[in-house]
Amino acid sequence: MHMPQLGLGTFRLQGPQAIDSVRNGLELGYRHIDTAQIYGNEEEVGSALAVSGVPRDEVFVTTKIWTANLKGEVLIPSLKESLRKLRLDRLDLTLVHWPSPGKEVPVRESMQALLAARDLGLTGAIGISNFPVALMREAVDAVGAANIATNQVELHPYLQNRSVAAAARALGIGITAYMPLAYGKVLDDAAVKAIAARIGATAAQVTLAWLMAKGYTVIPSSTRRANLESNLGSTGITLALEDIAAIDALDRGGRLVSPEFAPEWDAG
């Protein structure tokens, strides 16, 4: 199944809030839902999917394997547990959430286990998340670029991750941008707001349209139905080249997510 370019992220959504967000998103027309083992909300996402009435083959569902489950003998059982929680027979996409801290588990071991999971029919596609260029190339060496659907990374106007994006493009690997609104910081950016005012859009819509214009998949999240509906409107916006250039100029390496176990990030 083709991955819709605009999806619904569920990071930090818990309990009834997670159920409501996914249910509202599906009612509004979202057909791409992103979760992860570490989010602790796979059961809630599964509940929302189950009661939505949307046919399974119309929803693209992604989960991500946590670092504790990256060993070859652990990964597939953990994925089966995710499927149980999500009430699904198969994921559409499964990612390695973070490279193994301290390289405890080789990239090759995790990627080959993920490929085996795909061969077993547990997931339609596989990929990576938070992989800098060097580790992305290790993943390619392990399973081939054609078997890596995407690298999901933090990417927004203040952190444009150009090195990773360029390397992924050269390898034929897609980029999925998480935290695309930089925790809402871009909503108050003067340059983004000026573009939004001129074209009659919101700052969020402009930012998401900018990311999609670059060919990235985006997975914003929200607990508010109105925001979920508004974000969908970004798919109908075509930005002028000068507006894209103005947002390009906002890059400042403003990384917001870098836990102590993160890999060594690329400059630029």
Q: For 31-55, what is each residue's pLDDT tens digit?
A: 999 999 999 999 999 999 999 999 9
Q: What's the average model confidence in pLDDT over 217-239? A: 97
174 φ, ψ to 5°? -75, 165
Q: For 50-84, what is each residue's pLDDT tens digit?
A: 999 999 999 999 999 999 999 999 999 999 999 99
In degrees, rounded to 5, the angle at the alpha carbon of residue 144 between the alpha carbons of residues 164 and 174 is: 40
Q: Six-digit token pair at 176?
A: 């999925």
- Could you give the C-alpha distances from 260 to 85, 182, 198, 256, in angstroms and in order? 29, 20, 41, 13
Query: Tell me, what's the pLDDT at 185?
Result: 97
- Rounded to the nearest integer, the mean pLDDT of the chain is 97
Q: What is the DSSP letter of 186?
A: G
Binding residues for substrate: 97
Query: Tell me, what's the pLDDT at 268?
Result: 77
Query: Tell me, what's the pLDDT at 1?
Result: 63
Nearest to 183 by CA among 5, 63, 11, 4: 11
Q: What is the DSSP letter of 266?
A: P
Nearest-angstrom CA–CA distance, 23 and 34: 13
Domains by residue range for the chain, with CATH: 8-184+215-222 (3.20.20.100)
Nearest-angstrom CA–CA distance, 73 and 109: 10
Binding residues: 97
Nearest to 220 by CA among 4, 3, 5, 8: 8
- Could you give the C-alpha distances from 90 to 55, 94, 122, in angstroms and in order? 14, 10, 5
Q: Six-digit token pair at 92?
A: 């559409």
39 is an active site residue? yes
Query: Tell me, what's the pLDDT at 14?
Result: 96
Number of alpha carbons in the 13 Å side-chain half-sphere of residue 77: 6
Query: Tell me, what's the pLDDT at 266?
Result: 97
Q: For 85-136, what is each residue's pLDDT tens digit?
A: 999 999 999 999 999 999 999 999 999 999 999 999 999 999 999 999 999 9
Query: Tell me, what's the pLDDT at 189?
Result: 98
Q: What is the DSSP letter of 241?
A: H
Query: Tell me, what's the pLDDT at 131?
Result: 98
Q: What's the average model confidence in pLDDT over 260-267? A: 96
Q: What's the average model confidence in pLDDT over 177-190? A: 97
Catalytic position from the list 39, 158, 178, 216: 39
| Cβ 107 vs Cβ 142: under 8 Å | yes
Query: Tell me, what's the pLDDT at 76?
Result: 98
Which burial class, exposed, middle or buried, applies to 162 when counting CB atoms under 10 A from its CB (0-12, 13-18, 19+)? Answer: middle
Query: Tell me, what's the pLDDT at 108?
Result: 98
**Spatial CB neighbours of 137, under 8 Å, sequence gap ≥ 6:** 167, 171
